[in-house]
Amino acid sequence: MHDTATGRLQPIEGRDGVVRMYVCGITPYDATHLGHAATYLLFDLFQRACRDAGLEVRYVQNVTDIDDPLLERAVQTGQDWREIARRETALFRDDMAALRVIAPTEYIGAVEAIPDIVDIVRRLRERGAAYDLDGDVYFSVAAAPEFGAVGHYSTDEMLRLSAERGGDPERPGKKDPLDCLLWQAAKPGEPYWDSPLGPGRPGWHVECAAIALRHLGDQIDVNGGGTDLVFPHHELSAAEAEVATGTPTFARAYLHQAMVGYEGEKMSKSRGNLVFVSRLRAAGVDPMAIRLALLAHRHDVDWEWKDAELDAAIERLAGWRDALRRPSGPPAPITELRSALGDGIDTPRALSVVDAWAGTGGDDPAAPGQMTAAVDALLGIV
């Protein structure tokens, strides 16, 4: 797979036959748009390739069910934030099931992880890597020797991205503008939890560090999400985990899904230019066509969704299904299909392998059954 931190293809072998993978989940509002779907399809393909290679995958995904954007949506709509989180999480899981995404070993909500979050903040304090600021607790990036090793951004770029993506680089009193919030003191009218840190709620980055450490151990094999999480989220959660445990490398590799655009902009909640899986499904679109449309693009190159994407996928799906129902066909190119997925998770190449087989005649009566099994297991298409 393509490792963001090194910029090159890196073999993934796991330890003792187990690949430990943590993928950052949704903040449950406006779920599930096609940018979400593309991300979780990438890790589904990765998980399928690992399983096909005989590796067990222990996959943990969080749900950020307490955070500023969720609370802001609750205020805008007059709904209880907990109800929004429950509804949107359920919708997300329904969409993933419809797209035949293999569920993680564990889904963990931020709220249920608060004891683990409090514990990691306590450990960071003990190591001199956390400090108080007007009742809030901050992580000191100066305590992390490897800070910056995930994305390799310049300080100026990190400052810009921090301001754009939920950070507070201009807050007075911080030791470093890039220091991030670990625990936010309770504010009037907002939910909070009593803890040894004082009443409050967790910061974003430490949530994922705490969940990953609790459920996967001090070092994981793969950390992933969309490319918009490289900084600050993955950079800071890795730094917090490494300092808290004394482990020099939190994740052995980082896998990221490029951004999916729509109408000339990155598809995002803030812009409101979202195409929802649930709405496509409600309109009668076969989820397998949605899946094929997303898999037609490389995961490491930004691209823009257009309605024609879906039309092409529907046509491709019909052609595949017709070919798979034939009484015979050419020899099943399963080795080539495995090779495409095993070489940087090259889904366009994998789809072209199936296209070529489907467009060729042959007299092997076992081939359609073999290809049906392979397309199901490796690409998740039925």
Residue 31's pLDDT is: 87
pLDDT value for 364: 98
Give the residue among 360, 119, 344, 342 at the shortest CA–CA distance from 245: 119
Q: Which two tokens stand for residue 327?
A: 């009484």
Pairing of strands 136-139, 130-133: antiparallel
pTM of the model: 0.96
Q: What is the pLDDT of residue 200?
A: 98
Q: Which amino acid is it at 133?
A: L
Which pLDDT belongs to residue 270?
66
| pLDDT on residue 269 | 66
User: Tokens 């796991």 identify what position?
Assistant: 14
- Dist CA 347 CA 298 (whole Å): 6
pLDDT at residue 266 in the model:
74
Domains in the chain: ranges and CATH:
16-260 (3.40.50.620), 276-379 (1.20.120.640)
Q: Which residue has the tokens 């990691």?
A: 120
Q: What residues in the chain have per-residue pLDDT under 50?
A: none
| Predicted pLDDT of residue 369 | 98
Contacts of residue 2, defined as CB under 8 A and 6 or more positions apart, other chains included, come to 8, 9, 10, 255, 299, 300, 344, 345
Interstrand relation of 254-257 and 260-262 (parallel, antiparallel or unpaired): unpaired
Distances (CA, A) of 249 to 11, 150, 241, 254: 17, 10, 9, 11
Which residue matches tokens 């490796």? 378
**Which of these, 45, 35, 39, lies nearest to 1 by C-alpha position?**
45
